Structures are given as structure tokens and as C-alpha cells.
A and B are shown apart, each in its own frame.
Chain A
């Protein structure tokens, strides 16, 4: 790894990109180094690696340093690799991440595949040796002071200067953003303090506060994203917004529920509703808060929470206990069923299928056989055949 030099990662004049691949790890011979996850680029002149998380971290080695390459196919727990054998580093090499290395080769691990194509292209470049016939801007700078050379060198310096300016501008923008953010947070903090003080007043008054005031207070908390200091819940503290949302949901979910046998998990509802909205999505807490109000608003759908903690929305007309009777029939016909099998037969999600079978068990209609092969349900013959 001591053959690598730090670089901006920009291609030079005369240098072209051949292929690139994400998800590549570099190793110094057999040893892991901190270059774990990066984009590997092959150009006509160099092998460049840029860190995926920190784009500033970018290193390169000239293709002329490569002696030969070999492939290592993937195995269990191992990605496919290319082993690159290198000439020793030249004395005038630009500084890089390592001063020395005990290995004369490096390994490229392709964690996201792409090894085959990369190897093919790299082999091609090694054969064609295009870097010999296409001198880049840098090479020109070192060479004789021809007119063309000087002009090209200026061009590169100009580009680099522009980039430096842009970098400084970006840094400035970011610090300005952080400064503004800090100031904003100071103001937000004041809001939090104020809400705490109001909440204390409410606690002291215990019933002297009007319903209207409570509603207003809750909506202020909602806007700021402050947990309700009185009830200590961030959800379950429904507001006008949630009431409206509950009514909307009753309308939106009627047909989807009917299409799915009258019952859907809350997670399914979350995905369905948000995909339909596209913008101004609901937060998970919004959804839960709204659903908790369904019953009290006497809407045609309701929230149900199973013993396992799984939350579902049902049509009011849906009766899970009745569905259990038909589930029992299905299981009896087949002798026994797992949740997966039942789900496939009936056309339900595995999650809800399991809940139905568990409910049937709770009601005494089914028995379980719990083994390493899975959880299987049988009709409860202890009950029916005494």
C-alpha cells in the first residue's frame, strides 16, 4: 500500500475513465487497512480509490506500477478479489497514506460484485498500456517548457484554484448553516421551557383548565414536536389534527380493508397511506394517535392490539373470532398447518395468519407443536374428543 499517493480524484487532461465500481475494500497484502468501503475507478492511467463516506479521502496508483494481476473467486463469507502485484514505489512518488509496506501486492475486495468486469477492463488496460501514448497534463509540466506545455499547466492550475475556492465556499456555507442552526435551537429551547411552565400550571389546576385550553396547548406541542409534559406521552395525546386524520383514514381504508379480508396490520396501513400520499407523509406516531381515536369517534374501522403487541386495523363488521372458526376448518382439512402454510392457502400476510392461529389457540380450538422445524398448529382434539 505504500505505492499509493493522495489525490484529488480528478482526472487529468488526456486521462479517461474506463470503469468504476462501488463497494470495494483495499487490503495491504494480507492485512486489512482502514480503506474499507470505497469506489474504485480505473482510468487509462491510474487506479483510483475514493472513500464512500468521506469523499476527501482519495488515493491513486499509476497503472505503470502494476507488474501483473490475478483473480481470486468468491467463497462462503468472502467476496471475489483481484490481487495486484506492484513494482516498488519510485523515489519521487507523491506522498500517500503509507510510508512503507512489507507486501509487494494489494488486494481489491469486491463486496458489491463487479469483480469480473473490472478484471476484464484492467487486463485490457494492462495490455494496451495507453498511458504510454497519452501523456497527461502533469507529465507535460515535468517535461520541457514547450509553449503548449506551459498553457496546459496553467489550465490545470486554474482548475485547481477554482476547486479550492469552491471547497472554501462550501465550508463557509456549512459553518453558516451550523451557526444559524445553533441560533434556531436556542429559540426552540425557549419554547420547550415555556411549555414546561404551562404544563406545571395545568397540573396545579387539575381540572380548572378548560378543554379548549388543553386542545390549544396540545396543538402547540404538536407543532414544536415537544412531548406532552403532562401525560408524558408523545402519542396517545390526540389533537384536532389527529381527529381529522382518523376520519380521513376511515374513508381511505374502507376498500383496501375489504380487499384484504377486513384486516390489515398497522405497518401495512402506514406503507399504503404514505405511498398514496407521496408528499406530506404521516409519521408513525401520527398514524397511531389517529387510530387510537377511531373507536371514540364511532368510525367504521377500529384499532386492535393483539397480545403479541401486533397492531391491526379492522372493519367494524369484521369479527376475528368468527374467522377463527373458519381457520379451524381449514386446519382440520389439512390435518395441521404452520403460519406460513396457512397464509399461503388463505392469501393473508404471514404476520396476520400467525395472529389468527394464535387467537384460535387461545380460544382453545387449536393446539401447537413447537419444534425446531417450526410452529405447527393442530385441531385441539383434547377438547373435541373426550
Chain B
């Protein structure tokens, strides 16, 4: 019995030694790749997408740790982790305007502005990947698909399926009414009202009682007017702890 146990130990030790050797070889391969193509990763958003997709396919997360080979040698880590910081700052600065909901487009434009003219280009795909990583910090970051794009949530407010569906309905015009919800989703008045009140409470929706036929619930996150409105110095102060 003991002999079998011993054999088991030896086998694992062998494999670990093998893995260590292969790891060293892989590191060398990666270094060679980096020396030829590191620029490609930094400059080419499409290449980054390919790279990330391939990693995902084989079961590797190049962004899991700053100490990983991918991060250290290709510099992918710093690119995305820094982007994460920029995303957090923009969302904090604009939270009081939109309750913590922002379209991916607006986030993209604001981040680009913050990075300045000479910084590397950043794609929407890059933003989504950075946001997926940020979630783990317990800050309520979430990605909500609406009409072909995404709303980014940056506050720990509970948004369930009902809320999401109403947001998707509101995306078309920037606002929604109780009647629209009832006719599109076949809900009762009470359910529609509960969802809208929750969005109002969270500051994600504003109420226009002066609208001609019935009250309209507007989502500031969807106001095209607010696109690329500068972040004011007061708002920027909010963003930095």
C-alpha cells in the first residue's frame, strides 16, 4: 500500500518538474513573440480581440494577474488595468448625472478624451474586457445589453430582469411610459410602476410629468445631448479619492 502511495508522489513530482521545464520554454517562446509583435498588441485593437479570443478558447486568462507571463512580457496587463482605472474615474465623475448607468458609446468617448490625443487607441471591445475584470472588486459593475449596444452599470444597485427589460425598451427613444411597457411587455400597471419607481429612486431615470399624454420616464444615460459634454472640474474632483 505504502509503495503505491510513494509511486503516486513520484508521478506528481515528475509532472511538476516537466511543467516547470515546459514553462521555461514557453516563456522563451513568448519573449520571442513579444520582441517581434509587442507593438501589434499595443497599436492594433483587432489584434487584441484575436489574441483574447484565442486565449479564451484554450482556457487561458491573460489578464488574471499582473504577475502572469502575458502581462509581464506582452504588456497586455498594464493596458487593461490602467483602462480599468480610467473607466472607474469616468463613471464616478458622471454618476450624479446618470445614476450610475452609462452607454458604452459615451463611456468610450469620455475615456478617449481623458486619455488625450497621443495615447493609444482604445476600442469598445477593450472597454468591455476591462469592465469584466473590474467586477471582481465588488463594486456593482455590470454590462447590460440594450438594442445592439450596452449600458454599463457602475453602482451596486440591484437591477433584475424586469429592470433590464424596461431599460431595453427605453433605449429606442431615450424614454418610456407606463402604457408602452404595458402594451409591449404585457405587464400590469403595478409591475410597470414598481420598476420605474426603482429606477427613479436610483437616479437612473428622471420623471417628466409635463409630457402631453402621460408622464415620461427619461434615462439620462441615453440622452444623446450629454454625449461628450465635458466633465467639469467639480465632477473630476469627485472621481479621485
Contacts and interface: CB of A to CB of B under 8 A. Distances in A.
B20 to A, nearest CB: 7
Given A194-B19, A201-B8, A283 B70 contact: no
Contacts of A260: 241
Nearest to A196: B59
A216 B197 CA distance: 53
A103 B58 CA distance: 51
A73 to B, nearest CB: 12
Given A182-B54, A288-B136, A372-B197, A197 B64 contact: no
Contact of A213 (B16, B37, B55, B71): B16
Nearest to B227: A111
A188 B69 CA distance: 11
B145 interface: no
A373 B138 CA distance: 26
Contact of A198 (B15, B37, B133, B156): B15
A77 B222 CA distance: 8
A34 to B, nearest CB: 14
Nearest to B5: A208
Interface in B169-219: 173-174, 197, 200-201, 203, 207
A76 interface: yes
B40 interface: yes
A277 to B, nearest CB: 9
B156 A177 contact: no
A124 interface: no
Contact of A192 (B16, B58, B78, B134): B58
B88 A267 contact: yes
B147 to A, nearest CB: 14
Nearest to A37: B105
Contact of B81 (A195, A281, A370, A374): A281
A311 B138 contact: yes
B241 A198 contact: no
Contact of A174 (B9, B47, B62): B47
A76 B81 contact: no
Nearest to B112: A22
Interface residues of A, number: 83
Nearest to B71: A283
B19 A222 contact: no
B119 interface: no
Nearest to A53: B123
Contacts of B15: 194, 197-198, 201
B18 to A, nearest CB: 7
Interface stretch (A9-17, A161-169, A224-232): A224-232
Contacts of A267: 88, 134, 137-139
Contacts of A371: 201
A205 B50 CA distance: 38
A201 B19 contact: no
Interface stretch (A43-51, A62-70, A268-276): A268-276
B138 A274 contact: no
B23 A223 contact: yes
A282 B72 CA distance: 11
Nearest to B44: A174
B138 A220 contact: no
A288 B64 CA distance: 11
A178 B50 contact: yes
B200 A372 contact: yes
Contacts of B133: 283-285
A5 interface: no
Contacts of B240: 271
A252 interface: no
A181 B65 contact: no
Of the candidates A111, A201, A287, the one having the most CB atoms from chain B within 10 angstroms of its own CB is A201
A308 interface: yes
A113 B228 CA distance: 8
Contacts of A280: 66, 72, 78
A192 B62 CA distance: 13
Interface string A177-202: 11011101101111110110110011
B5 A370 contact: no
A204 interface: yes
B161 interface: no
Contact of B59 (A202, A227, A305): A227
A266 interface: yes
B231 interface: no
B82 A209 contact: no
Contact of A177 (B11, B47, B89): B47
Nearest to B218: A76
Contact of A270 (B5, B29, B84, B224): B84
Contacts of B173: 77
27 contacts: A23-B228, A77-B173, A174-B40, A174-B44, A191-B19, A191-B23, A213-B16, A222-B64, A223-B69, A224-B23, A224-B69, A225-B69, A227-B64, A234-B61, A266-B138, A266-B139, A268-B241, A271-B85, A279-B78, A283-B71, A283-B77, A283-B81, A285-B64, A311-B137, A351-B155, A372-B201, A374-B201
Given A188-B60, A227-B64, A267-B88, 14 more contacts: A77-B224, A192-B58, A198-B19, A201-B8, A201-B11, A220-B23, A222-B64, A227-B61, A235-B136, A274-B85, A284-B137, A310-B140, A311-B138, A372-B201
